[in-house]
Chain A
Amino acid sequence: KNQVEQSPQSLIILEGKNCTLQCNYTVSPFSNLRWYKQDTGRGPVSLTIMTFSENTKSNGRYTATLDADTKQSSLHITASQLSDSASYICVVRDENDMRFGAGTRLTVKP
């Protein structure tokens, strides 16, 4: 069983709407959690990193949250744009390794 589970697998929203992507993990011991954005046919690009002591962090229209007690993180996208269409990948690091979620495929339609 994958140690990092993301939901939903895919999501379609209209331009201008908000959405929230979920990441649940069982990785232990926890070091940090990072969200990446991957455009089609490109490599992933880091959006934000969450450490154990951080609950919320924003990067423009992207806001990540972390609940280390329940081992859950979310990525909230505000006022979506067509350029937000991409896969969003949650990556959790323990002491030695990184574990990748399968990603959520977001499509923003005009």
Chain B
Amino acid sequence: DGGITQSPKYLFRKEGQNVTLSCEQNLNHDAMYWYRQDPGQGLRLIYYSQIVNDFQKGDIAEGYSVSREKKESFPLTVTSAQKNPTAFYLCASSWGRRSNQPQHFGDGTRLSIL
């Protein structure tokens, strides 16, 4: 079955540590996205990529970094510069950023601070 897979499901970060969240899709989608979800707020866009080796900052990119070396993969690194990283992180993919087709979401990674 085609889909989008995020791992791990739960992740804990120590002070000063960088952590990387994995996102893989086998839908052959060109565009991939990272969102942050906090209680009582709508999803906020961290980064997006419309093509391999290219990505753009979203609304809240500070303290995060991404790479897009393969079409199927779009990992997100939460760096030590992100002072409030505790949140639910969602990865999504679609045919194109301006497409009317729906985004397909993974089941998220919940990041907490130790």
> Which residues of chain A have a CB within 8 Å of any CB of chain B?
2, 4, 9, 31-32, 34, 36, 41-46, 49, 51, 89, 93, 95-103
Which residue of B is nearest A46, CB measured? B102
A41: min CB distance to chain B, Å: 7
Q: Are A49 and B107 interface neighbours, CB within 8 A?
A: no
Q: Say yes or no: A43 contacts B102, CB within 8 Å.
A: no
Check A102 against B41 for contact (C-beta < 8 Å). Answer: yes
Q: Decide: A45 and B100 in contact? CB cutoff 8 A.
A: no
- A-B pairs with beta carbons under 8 Å apart, 13 shown: A36-B102, A41-B108, A43-B4, A43-B105, A43-B106, A45-B105, A51-B100, A95-B98, A100-B42, A100-B44, A101-B42, A102-B41, A102-B42
Residues on B close to A: CB < 8 A? 4, 6, 35, 40-45, 90, 92, 97-98, 100, 102-103, 105-108, 110
Contact B42 A49 (CB under 8 A): no
Residues on A with beta carbons closer than 8 Å to the beta carbon of B41: 102
Q: How far is the CA of A99 from the CA of B43 in the complex (A)?
A: 8
Q: Is the CB of A42 within 8 A of B42?
A: no
Nearest chain-B residue to A96 (Cβ)? B98
Main secondary structure of the interface of B (DSSP, over half): loop
Question: Which residues on the B side are within 8 Å of A103 (C-beta)?
Answer: 42
Contact at A42–B108, with CB atoms within 8 Å?
yes
Q: Identify which of B40, B43, B107, B108 contacts A100 (C-beta below 8 A).
A: B43
Chain B nearest CB from A81 CB (Å) reads: 22
Q: Do B42 and A41 touch (CB < 8 A)? A: no
Q: A43-B92, A49-B100 are in contact. Are A2 and B105 (CB under 8 A)?
A: no
Identify which of B40, B102, B110 contacts A9 (C-beta below 8 A).
B40
B100 adjacent to A99 (CB under 8 Å): no
CB distance from B24 to the nearest CB of A (A): 14
Chain B residues with CB under 8 Å of A93's CB are 100
Besides A42-B108, A100-B44, A102-B40, 7 other CB < 8 A contacts? Answer: A43-B90, A46-B102, A49-B102, A96-B98, A98-B45, A98-B103, A102-B41
